[in-house]
Chain A
């Protein structure tokens, strides 16, 4: 389990890193926290000939509030996000997700950008960023573009990132009032990737009726799966347990879960129903508390 040989570069600015990437393209890989890439290299599943280390680029690590949006730099460590007061206040769903990612040791190294760029179907942040209508800034030596989260994830470990592009930051709209959030997942061990999970964002109007609802599953298929229309029926209605149940049943009917050794498609579907319901319920409970 030793990696194949590679050239190692450690630029100190974003521009230098992008130049290197432009030069080597497909041959190169950037390394952030290394928590996913290093195991893949040791298994020789990834054999980049050039490794561009982002860890010396200080400008990529920050969390700030800008125009009603939270901006998170790609190299911000999970642990920083987890402990950040702005995040806890304006994006409590992200705050809640962080403690479910891996172990404290891994969160000390793993990065926000790395998790999203890696696009593991079981990564919490894939569903969370979709549920929060996040946008990602992708940059190359030639320029930059913004891609909404729900257009970013193409498939298992596949994203909108081109070979010369880097994810440099994520922008997350600040939560409006009367919004509730919840993330539910089922993992084999505390730190494992989830067998199935669901992130919910809901809002209640002054009369206690649902004014917004979003439910996004992860670790069900290859990409985060937005329940979409299925939850739209909640809008304008009081979110009773029966209604929530019927919403998640409809949503589940559209899922195409995958099979693996820990969870069959059937079990995943069952978990999706249970976790979707629990996530919505808890999100509405929180929205109700927020409203008071």
Chain B
């Protein structure tokens, strides 16, 4: 069989994308299409006393203006997307979900108050200025550490406090571990907020065709099928009357899995009323308020160790910022708890979590989804312990890795999928050693660093390990069909946002069916093409969807061989499928093309035998019991200018282990993008809110996304530890690149500064924060 899985093939979809031939939501143009603009609150917390839209309605070109009142009984808070975990005892969870348009109270800046629908977006935006809103500002809840204070304002008036959730997870007994410890490291660690910053903002075109009684919604969503099901339910339509299409999407990174965004509900509601197509394209400023964000957490944490650097236990109590609502349940903080444990043997663990409501945009997973926080916490503590104990940072990690014979390893606590957090497989040491080798760790420490220090230069190295839980259930599916041309068509429910699905999935299919990868035509994210699925999230496409492809195409292969065996009058085990035809091995004359077989399998006359199906087609599903856990080590060399606190990244090395690699080119691309994202999270990207909950940097002028000038060349190496949980042995890699970067950069900068007491306990960092840290105690 041609080995296609694992080949560094160029992407099938790139010619279309690079020549502007790919359809994005904003490319959808329909006759009579109207445009929507949303009036958004300037206040973060305010009572809505009244809205007067009469002047807006009079503006020429305005078709309609709607507020919450207009929606009548259709106005309802969104359904919770992820329910709180049923498996943890004594969990408190107060479900408060976002509303389509503000009715009584604004809970974060940018929450929509009204929508204008007009002949053009320009007119719609002009009309926003005509609307008169009476808002009574209220004190805002901004600082998550003060959200639970007795005198804090209430984000949700019907709750007694701003507590969204509370739970405790334990493994072993931390208290007794603490009593046996030689060293206790205790710190307060902060991770602040950022955005996902996808190149394409969100966008929706919704069209109710009244004659066909059919709703079509083009949506930048990461999960078209649940959107279809939800919209049908909300508006009393049959699922067959609703088609949701997630076409090419310019980056997802998590926030596009959120549902339902107010705009998705409002546009659908409005087109059902007007029976005309309506387009809304989120602009960049709106994106800073209206698309979900991530990262805000404060940890009070301690680690108990022996004098030789073995972790006896870890206690991590933290607060997580939910923002104004909590439709996404506890996914992020549960990921944090799991990733605090990391690749390490931590027998005793205790973690108390408080999730709080604040008057800020809601948080939902953004690439990393709580994992970078956990990695930052444990890696920072290990670095501090290593320094206190005089152990090399790479050595302390080595001493604490889970050994190879423990897998599958049950970490006892529950994970984001509400199952026990079990690590399926791992082999951590080779990844670390490869990374050390690639970056020349020993030589740097022994020769280069002392030499540069002698010249007065502050150059430092870092090395951190991480795990990434990936590929969670419940399931995905795929339908694989041999067309009468011999080409293969494949449909799956997951949407695609640049991950290369059209190629990596095609490689899996082509591997079984003996066709060219370019002859596999993939449809993703169109509910009219595939009915079942959940979505693209949690680094799961290459695990869950690819294994569904694998299952479906092996069934089709079986069908091909059965039919060909009959037609060629040769036993199946003598047949091979190559170059789009089935041949009797060693007898090239005896062959039949896949196209011909497909036609024979779908005859126009005669009968399909009872118990068989027409065509060479199969639909299959894959659902893992629990997620596959990828891992790796990153290493970096930085130079710090101690006068300006400018940090320059000089080397960046990644060793990634995500099991079986489907396409190394695509994988490296995912890793590069992840690292770039991580560098942003670590050093550039931070949202600043004032005491009133006003966002101070809602544009790319002041919210700093790293560019090609800030991202170094990334050297990627691999180790391969296949997952035993799925036939392909694959694990996800979509978030891996981003996860360890803040921890790594903190270590490398500390190493470069190389002064006792200079300790980074916060992410993102910045020259200003490093300045305050370094010069804070020094005389100016």
Contact = CB atoms under 8 A, between A and B. Distances in A.
**Are these two chains actual partners, yes or no?**
yes
Interface of A: 1-2, 4-5, 39, 43, 103, 186, 188-192, 195, 261-264, 266-267, 270-271, 274-275
Contacts of A266: 780
Contact of A262 (B643, B706, B710, B768): B768
Given A188-B684, A188-B767, A262-B766, A4 B126 contact: yes
12 contacts: A1-B284, A4-B126, A5-B126, A39-B701, A103-B707, A188-B766, A189-B704, A189-B710, A190-B710, A192-B704, A267-B768, A271-B644
Interface of B: 121-122, 125-126, 283-285, 643-644, 646, 684, 688, 696-697, 699, 701-702, 704, 706-707, 709-710, 766-768, 771-772, 775, 780
Contacts of A2: 121-122, 125
Contacts of A192: 704
Contact of A186 (B644, B701, B710): B644
A208 B768 CA distance: 38
Contacts of B644: 186, 271, 274-275
A144 B704 CA distance: 42
Nearest to A43: B285
A220 to B, nearest CB: 15
B780 A191 contact: no
Given A1-B285, A191-B709, A192-B704, 20 more contacts: A1-B284, A2-B121, A2-B122, A2-B125, A43-B699, A103-B707, A188-B766, A189-B684, A189-B707, A189-B710, A190-B710, A191-B707, A261-B688, A262-B702, A262-B766, A267-B771, A270-B780, A271-B644, A274-B643, A274-B644
Nearest to B780: A270
Contacts of B709: 189-191
Give 8 closest A-B pairs by Cβ, nearest first: A190-B709, A1-B283, A274-B643, A261-B688, A2-B122, A2-B125, A186-B644, A267-B771
A262 B768 CA distance: 7
Contacts, number: 55
A107 to B, nearest CB: 14
Contacts of B706: 189
A4 B766 CA distance: 36
A264 to B, nearest CB: 6
Given A261-B697, A262-B768, A271-B644, A5 B122 contact: yes
A43 B772 CA distance: 33
Nearest to B122: A2
B731 to A, nearest CB: 33
Contacts of A270: 771, 775, 780
Q: Interface centre among A188, A264, A274, by most B CB within 10 Å?
A: A188
Contacts of A4: 126
Chief secondary structure at chain B's binding surface: loop
Nearest to B643: A274
Given A1-B283, A261-B688, A270-B775, A186 B767 contact: yes
A4 B127 CA distance: 10
Nearest to A264: B768
Given A1-B284, A1-B285, A4-B126, A261 B771 contact: no
A101 B643 CA distance: 22
Contacts of A1: 283-285
A270 B770 CA distance: 13
A176 to B, nearest CB: 31
Nearest to A275: B644
B707 A190 contact: yes
Contacts of B684: 188-189
A173 to B, nearest CB: 31
A174 to B, nearest CB: 33
Given A1-B285, A186-B767, A261 B125 contact: no
A270 B688 CA distance: 23
A266 B780 CA distance: 10
A186 B704 contact: no
Contacts of B122: 2, 5
A188 B646 CA distance: 8
A133 B646 CA distance: 31
A190 B647 CA distance: 12
B21 to A, nearest CB: 24
Contacts of A195: 767
Contacts of A190: 707, 709-710
Contacts of A189: 684, 704, 706-707, 709-710
Contacts of A39: 701
Contacts of B125: 2
Contacts of B646: 186
A230 B643 CA distance: 22
Given A186-B646, A189-B707, A261 B285 contact: no
A188 B704 contact: yes
A189 B706 CA distance: 7
B696 A261 contact: yes
Contacts of A263: 767-768
A117 to B, nearest CB: 19
A102 to B, nearest CB: 11
Contacts of A186: 644, 646, 767
Contacts of B696: 261
A177 B284 CA distance: 50
B524 to A, nearest CB: 30
Contacts of B285: 1, 43
A4 to B, nearest CB: 7
A195 B646 CA distance: 12
Nearest to A196: B644
Contacts of B772: 267
B43 to A, nearest CB: 19
Contacts of B688: 261
B195 to A, nearest CB: 15
Residue in B284, B688, B768, B772 whose Cβ sees the most chain A Cβ within 10 Å: B768
Nearest to A263: B768
Contacts of A271: 644
Contacts of B767: 186, 188, 195, 263, 267
A262 B703 CA distance: 10
Contacts of B771: 267, 270
B263 to A, nearest CB: 16
A275 B641 CA distance: 12
A46 B189 CA distance: 42
Contacts of B780: 266, 270
